[in-house]
């Protein structure tokens, strides 16, 4: 076999045929339903207490903050009421020492100070007016409701949400470690520090990024149709969708819940689908997937995410390519001038190359190789040289790597179609109408930048008998730009309507 044929053989290990896809869709549906009945299920199916999606006519000025792993973003969003918005934002890196501070207060007072600085810089009139009034009043209770900014708080750590603006931290992740925050309500912690600075801001909603994506897309999507699903394909993967209240059986078991609006008969559910089929009854598994999982910090967990999202695809490709490099009968990246037997010295791969290191290959490389149409695959060879210390890669080398990269990316997209297809079928929207589009909002670098990711999803959706060509055409997929800011603002708006502030606010 030639080098390229050997590579194609590895690429075929990532084939994911229609019959398996169909089986996975059925199981996904079962796990969705199970998660609505009880806690402790494979798909967490977390109720978000958001009970309506926007239709584009929403208006007003809102604030949003986003505490991700690395940065803290503060923004204000003016919703114009015609599906468009203006957004002003600032971003600061979170100081390392605050991520591991002794007390929550140190981190949250820092966050409140960023909100204060943002208000002073971008909404000075509003801010000054508020401060002036406070100074001229004997008591601090006199300002009017319309002077207060409702703020949506996007918080990307595991929380147990028990109300639209209430949620306790389960555990820190991503390098954060502040012991006394665990078990506390993060909205209350932020509100305390905002109040200490006398800012005219009310934390109105706690927001998950998938819910933000769903809301943002629903506001900006064309026409009156509300969006069904918001999905993230970035570092991780997850989705939030609109479910019928009557199907969320476990809602009645949750005690200590805030009241929520039941008039729409619906609620947005955060699926946490990264853990779909952790039992591995239907997920495809190559030796490269198994190796990645074994060497991960959480073996056996997030098994769907480990085959789909940006954090992992590069590592899957690295392991697959390495299997060829280590095969003595396959001349990938081989140095023809060497007579030594040691793998390292018979290849053109530098000792420092990321190819030798776990997590050493970034998923953005998949996009480069898969999308490479240059003569002699010059672009891929350049990236191998510049970013991965692989000198003098031949055209055949690049072709081999491209074949495997494309296979890993295509399987990820087909698995993404499992999640999207299952949510669409669960909604019965394809049966309820013949013409209405079924709207899906997506976000994340993988779906945004991997060439043809959406087309691969569509190809897979067409192969599902219950969807078919007719159904696939009705599924409308659009990127939700600035999803976290706009989405959080929209949830703050909805929260303000359902949960009007009390006199003490
Ligand atoms: P986040 O998930 O933190 O919101 P992103 O949506 O930007 O951020 O996703 C980051 C992930 O996307 C990383 O795992 C990165 O490897 C991957 N990524 C970045 N650029 C690309 C690209 N051009 N093609 C495919 N994946 C990419
Ligand atoms: Mg994101």
- Residue 188 in domain: yes
More reliable by pLDDT, 146 or 59: 59
Ligand 1: nearest atom to the Cα of 309: 14
Strand partners, 238: 232
Residues with CB under 5 A from ligand 2 (ion): 234
CB 73 within 8 A of CB 90: yes
- Residue 397 in domain: no
- Residue 118 in domain: yes
DSSP letter for each residue of 384-415 = HHHHH-BTT--HHHHHHHHHHHHHHHHHHHHH
Per-residue pLDDT, 169: 93
Residue with tokens 């918005």: 85
Mean pLDDT for the chain overall: 90
Would you call 156 a catalytic residue per the annotation? yes
Ligand 1, atom 17, lies closest to the CA of 310
Alpha carbon of 144 to ligand 2 centroid (Å): 35
- List the catalytic residue out of 66, 185, 209, 439: 209
Task: Assign 347 a pLDDT band (cuts: 50, 70, 90).
Answer: confident
Alpha carbon of 443 to ligand 2 centroid (Å): 7
pLDDT at 135 > cutoff 70: no
CB 76 within 8 A of CB 199: no
- Residue 172 in domain: yes
Alpha-carbon span 345 to 334, nearest angstrom: 9
More reliable by pLDDT, 145 or 158: 158
Mutate to test the pocket of ligand 1, among 236, 445, 449 (most ligand atoms within 8 A of CB): 445
**8-state DSSP, 347:** B
Alpha carbon of 326 to ligand 2 centroid (Å): 36
CATH number of the domain residue 122 falls in: 3.30.420.40
- Residue 472 in domain: no
Alpha-carbon span 141 to 134, nearest angstrom: 8
Ligand 1: nearest atom to the Cα of 362: 16
CB 487 within 8 A of CB 231: no
CB 65 within 8 A of CB 485: no
Residues 339-348: what's their mean pLDDT?
Answer: 60
Task: Assign 346 a pLDDT band (cuts: 50, 70, 90).
Answer: confident
**Looking at the CA of 236, which ligand is closest?**
1
Q: How many CB atoms lie within 10 A of CB 176?
A: 18
Residues 51-67: what's their mean pLDDT?
Answer: 93
- Evaluate if pTM is beyond 0.95: no
Q: How many CB atoms lie within 10 A of CB 367?
A: 22
Mutate to test the pocket of ligand 1, among 157, 310, 444 (most ligand atoms within 8 A of CB): 310
- List the catalytic residue out of 12, 23, 38, 171: 171
Interstrand relation of 59-67 and 149-155 (parallel, antiparallel or unpaired): parallel
Per-residue pLDDT, 336: 66
Residues 194-200: what's their mean pLDDT?
Answer: 95
More reliable by pLDDT, 164 or 121: 121
Alpha carbon of 221 to ligand 2 centroid (Å): 19
Per-residue pLDDT, 505: 40
**φ and ψ at residue 140, rounded to 5 degrees:** -90, 15
- Residue 465 in domain: no
Alpha-carbon span 247 to 262, nearest angstrom: 13
Q: Which domain holds residue 179?
A: 48-222+483-496
CB 457 within 8 A of CB 477: yes
Residue with tokens 């692989």: 390
- Number of folded domains in the chain? 1
Token digits of residue 417: 């179609």
Would you call 217 a catalytic residue per the annotation? no
Per-residue pLDDT, 283: 98
Mutate to test the pocket of ligand 1, among 302, 313, 363, 369 (most ligand atoms within 8 A of CB): 363
The model's pLDDT over 217-276, given as tens digits with 9 standing for 90+, comes to: 999 998 778 999 999 998 889 999 999 999 999 887 765 555 778 899 999 999 999 999
- Residue 228 in domain: no
- What length is written for the chain? 505
Alpha-carbon span 304 to 295, nearest angstrom: 16
Per-residue pLDDT, 289: 98
Interstrand relation of 237-244 and 227-233 (parallel, antiparallel or unpaired): antiparallel
CB 161 within 8 A of CB 48: yes
For residue 150, which of 72, 25, 65, 83 has the smallest C-alpha distance? Answer: 65
- Residue 145 in domain: yes
Would you call 171 a catalytic residue per the annotation? yes
Task: Assign 484 a pLDDT band (cuts: 50, 70, 90).
Answer: confident
Token digits of residue 395: 């055209």
Farthest-apart Cα atoms in the chain, separation: 88
Ligand 1: nearest atom to the Cα of 233: 6
CA 456 from centre of chain: 19
Token digits of residue 199: 């800012």
């Amino acid at each position: 076999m030639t080098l390229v044929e050997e590579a194609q053989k590895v690429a075929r290990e990532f084939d994911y045929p229609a019959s398996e896809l169909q089986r996975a869709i059925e199981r996904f549906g079962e796990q969705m339903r199970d998660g609505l009945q009880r806690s402790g299920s494979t798909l967490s199916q977390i109720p978000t207490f958001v009970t309506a999606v926007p239709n584009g006519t929403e208006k007003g000025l809102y604030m949003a903050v986003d505490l991700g792993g690395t940065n803290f973003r503060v923004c204000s969003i003016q919703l114009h009421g015609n599906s468009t918005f203006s957004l002003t934002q600032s971003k600061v890196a979170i100081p390392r020492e605050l991520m591991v501070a002794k007390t929550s207060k140190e981190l949250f007072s820092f966050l409140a100070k960023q909100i204060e600085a943002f208000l002073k810089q971008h909404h000075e009139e509003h801010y000054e007016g508020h401060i002036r009034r406070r100074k001229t009043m004997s008591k601090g209770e006199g300002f009017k409701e319309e002077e207060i900014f409702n703020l949506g708080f996007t918080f990307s750590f595991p929380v147990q949400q028990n109300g639209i603006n209430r949620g306790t931290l389960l555990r820190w992740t991503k390098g954060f470690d502040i012991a006394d925050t665990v078990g506390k309500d993060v909205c209350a912690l932020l509100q305390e520090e905002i109040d200490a600075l006398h800012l005219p801001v009310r934390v109105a909603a706690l927001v998950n990024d998938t819910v933000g994506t769903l809301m943002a897309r629903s506001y900006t999507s064309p026409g009156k149709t509300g969006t069904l699903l918001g999905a993230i394909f970035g570092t991780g993967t997850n989705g939030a969708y609109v479910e019928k209240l009557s199907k969320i059986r476990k809602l009645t078991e949750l005690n200590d819940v805030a009241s929520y609006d039941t008039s729409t008969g619906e609620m947005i559910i955060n699926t946490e689908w990264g853990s779909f089929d952790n039992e591995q009854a239907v997920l495809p598994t190559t030796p490269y997937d198994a190796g990645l999982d074994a060497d991960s910090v959480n073996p056996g967990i997030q098994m769907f995410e480990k085959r789909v999202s940006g954090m992992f695809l590069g590592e899957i490709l690295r392991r697959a390519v390495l299997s060829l490099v280590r095969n003595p009968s396959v001349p990938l990246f081989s140095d023809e001038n060497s007579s030594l037997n040691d793998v390292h010295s018979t290849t053109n791969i530098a000792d420092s190359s990321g190819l030798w290191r776990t997590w050493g290959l970034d998923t953005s490389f998949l996009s480069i190789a898969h999308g490479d149409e240059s003569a002699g695959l010059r672009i891929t060879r350049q990236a191998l040289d510049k970013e991965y210390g692989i000198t003098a890669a031949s055209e055949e080398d690049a072709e081999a790597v491209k074949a495997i990269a494309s296979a890993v990316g295509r399987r990820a997209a087909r698995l993404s179609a499992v999640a999207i297809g299952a949510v669409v079928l669960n909604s019965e929207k394809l049966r309820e109408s013949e013409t209405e589009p079924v709207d899906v909002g997506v976000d994340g670098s993988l779906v945004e930048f991997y060439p043809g990711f959406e087309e691969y999803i569509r190809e897979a959706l067409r192969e599902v008998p219950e969807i078919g060509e007719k159904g696939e055409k009705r599924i409308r997929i659009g990127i939700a730009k600035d999803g976290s800011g706009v989405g959080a603002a929209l949830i703050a708006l909805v929260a303000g309507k359902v949960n009007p502030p009390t006199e003490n606010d």
